[in-house]
Amino acid sequence: MSKREKADEIYLKKLGVRIKTVRKERGMKQVELGYACDIEKQNMQRIEAGNTNPTVLMLRKISENLGVSLSQLLDF
């Protein structure tokens, strides 16, 4: 497994913050979003922390369950 470049790490952190912000705006708990997306709690934590690179399909599930478009989710 190769090391991520710094720019990639920064992007994943910003994505995680965006997901967390939208989730909280919707009044959802992390475990609720994870359950709705069929993601284990630990994986949802890693996504929001920017410690993993979610697939585009996973991001689609997250955006749908947050009630925003994928482009809105990635707008940060």
Query: Nearest to residue 44, comparing CAs of 36, 64, 2?
Result: 36
Residue 40's H or E segment, with its range, is none
- Joined together, the tokens standing for residue 63 give 């955006």
pLDDT tens digit sequence for 20-75: 999 999 999 999 999 999 999 899 999 999 999 999 999 999 999 999 999 999 99
Whole-angstrom CA distances from 12 to 18, 19, 27, 37 are 10, 11, 23, 19
By the 10 Å C-beta count (0-12 exposed, 13-18 middle, 19+ buried), 43 is classed as middle
pLDDT for 39 equals 93
pLDDT band at residue 2 using 50, 70 and 90 as cut-offs: low
